[in-house]
Amino acid sequence: MRTLSRLELVGETLRAALEELAEAAPAWLTPLIEPDWAKRYGRRVEIGKLPGGKAAVTARAEEFGRDGQKILTAAWAACAPPHLRLLPQVEILRQVWVHHYYWDADGLLRWRDGHALPHASLRFDSPYDTDAHYCVKRDTTWSGYRTHFTETCDEERPELVVHVATTISTVQDIEMTDTIHDELAERHLLPAEHVVDSGYVSPARIERAQRVHGISLLGPVVADHSSQAKAGSGFGKAAFTIDWDHEQAICPRRATSVSWTELRIKENTYLQARFAEADCRSCPDRTRCTSSATRPRSVAVLPRQLHEIQTQNRLDQQTEEWQGRYAIRAGIEATLSQNVRAHGLRRSRYRGLARTHVQHVLTAMACNVARVADWIDTAPRTRRRATHFRTLCSATA
């Protein structure tokens, strides 16, 4: 779909509603049309850079706002035919106006500032596909969906995509790990080991994958985010010993925490150990431990089982053995690249989440067919072809 600015979005949303009403109820619409609407909404709304900056954008947006409000007020009037309110584009017009406008104290319709908008997962980016949402992931921004591919990586076999998930773009990767496992289990396709990137891994996901499905989830657990760990010089969480039986933490200076409370951060429960002010105030290592000038150090850790998984994984993922096992994950990048470049994975040919998912499944099937055909067509070979020089050396040896 076309990428629209907010200004274009409201103009195009009103145009789409007028199109629908012109077809469904021309006699009802005709008396509402103002003289300049044919020019304003008679063709698709494209607005370049407006002279006058932000004030001009707001003025134009509020002009669209008043026009749209005229239609909405008329459609929701007691005398209006009820079916008009059920027309899809009229309902989208109503929702887009809620997202982008508000009534001020004087009863005037106003254009919302960017920071006062609803979350991206609630707003629409286009009146023609309301499942597509704006999203940012690292350096990439896009409007649309998010897809997750799972493929086999057996030696001497073609890598085949065995699971495809499509979500709205704002669903985070970590939210899909359990779903992917449950759906693979339904099809009897669970692997013994599932290798994923860091976005899909957390101690809770590793624990559940093992407990519910008996599989090992292999991926890097995020590093300790504490400022001390980031600086690499102070006392990060790993420097503290946790005495689970007595619900205490012991710091590198052998002081013992004096309180132990439960914290809830998003969906996770943490246990926070706080040290005594008297210990920390007089501590010679205070600057290595806390940036606060007055408060004592506190440490938040996951519940015992998850903390142990987290600690063990952070240690394991530093080893060559772990990195060797993890290297196989790079294969999925080739699969994604093939699907993007050869099969147009990043362009949705349809509107809506359900249809886009069908496209993703068909794309994966095409990729599988091509890979199986290649595999049948060629003699089985090792994963990485030896160079001529290496072959020569082996022969010589």
Could you give the CA distance from residue 301 to residue 299 in angstroms, rounded to a whole number? 7
Could you tell me the smallest distance in angstroms from the CB atom of residue 291 to ligand SF4?
A: 11
Q: 219 or 236: whose CB is closer to ligand SF4?
A: 236
Could you tell me the smallest distance in angstroms from the CB atom of residue 293 to ligand SF4?
A: 12
**Per CB under 6 A, does 279 bind ligand SF4?**
yes
Q: 252 or 352: whose CB is closer to ligand SF4?
A: 252
In our burial notation (b when 16+ CB lie closer than 10 A, e otherwise), range 334-368 reads ebbebbeeebebeebeeeebeebbebbbebbeebb
- Looking from the CA of 89 toward its CB, the CA atoms found within 13 Å total 21
**Per CB under 6 A, does 236 bind ligand SF4?**
no
DSSP state of 373: H
Count the site residues for ligand SF4 by CB under 6 A: 15
Could you give the CA distance from residue 181 to residue 305 in angstroms, rounded to a whole number? 21
**Per CB under 6 A, does 129 bind ligand SF4?**
no
Report yes or no: 265 and 254 within 8 Å, Cβ to Cβ. no
**Per CB under 6 A, does 325 bind ligand SF4?**
no
DSSP state of 129: -
Could you tell me the smallest distance in angstroms from the CB atom of residue 348 to ligand SF4?
A: 53
Q: 285 or 308: whose CB is closer to ligand SF4?
A: 285
**Per CB under 6 A, does 286 bind ligand SF4?**
yes
- Looking from the CA of 356 toward its CB, the CA atoms found within 13 Å total 23
Both structure tokens of 307: 């903390």
Could you give the CA distance from residue 369 to residue 336 in angstroms, rounded to a whole number? 15
Order across the sheet with 140-151: list the strands. 133-137, 140-151, 161-168
Q: 290 or 310: whose CB is closer to ligand SF4?
A: 290
| Three-state SS at 384 | coil
Could you give the CA distance from residue 69 to residue 128 in angstroms, rounded to a whole number? 20
Q: Which of 96, 87, 70, 108 is nearest to 7 (CA)?
A: 96
Could you tell me the smallest distance in angstroms from the CB atom of residue 236 to ligand SF4?
A: 11
* Part in contact with ligand SF4 (CB under 6 A); list of ranges 70-78, 174-182, 191-199, 275-283: 275-283
**Per CB under 6 A, does 63 bind ligand SF4?**
no
DSSP state of 256: B
Alpha helices in 247-318 (DSSP H): 277-281, 286-289, 304-316
Other CB atoms within 10 Å distance of the CB of residue 131: 20
Could you tell me the smallest distance in angstroms from the CB atom of residue 308 to ligand SF4?
A: 22
Could you tell me the smallest distance in angstroms from the CB atom of residue 261 to ligand SF4?
A: 16
**Per CB under 6 A, does 272 bind ligand SF4?**
no
From 84, 289, 302, 332, residue interacting with ligand SF4 (rule: CB under 6 A): 289
**Per CB under 6 A, does 234 bind ligand SF4?**
no
Residues numbered 241-270 forming contacts with ligand SF4, rule: CB under 6 A: 251-253, 255
* Part in contact with ligand SF4 (CB under 6 A); list of ranges 74-82, 100-108, 191-199, 281-289: 281-289
**Per CB under 6 A, does 96 bind ligand SF4?**
no
Could you tell me the smallest distance in angstroms from the CB atom of residue 315 to ligand SF4?
A: 22
From 14, 29, 280, 302, residue interacting with ligand SF4 (rule: CB under 6 A): 280
Could you tell me the smallest distance in angstroms from the CB atom of residue 287 to ligand SF4?
A: 9
**Per CB under 6 A, does 275 bind ligand SF4?**
yes
| Three-state SS at 270 | strand
Let me know if 103 is exposed, middle or buried by CB neighbors in 10 A (0-12, 13-18, 19+): exposed
Handedness of CA 206, 207, 209, 214 (dihedral sign): positive
* Part in contact with ligand SF4 (CB under 6 A); list of ranges 53-61, 115-123, 288-296, 326-334: 288-296
* Part in contact with ligand SF4 (CB under 6 A); list of ranges 277-285, 306-314, 329-337, 349-357: 277-285
* Part in contact with ligand SF4 (CB under 6 A); list of ranges 34-42, 53-61, 280-288, 370-378: 280-288
**Which stretches of the chain bind ligand SF4, using CB under 6 A?**
235, 251-253, 255, 275, 279-280, 283, 285-286, 289-290, 296-297
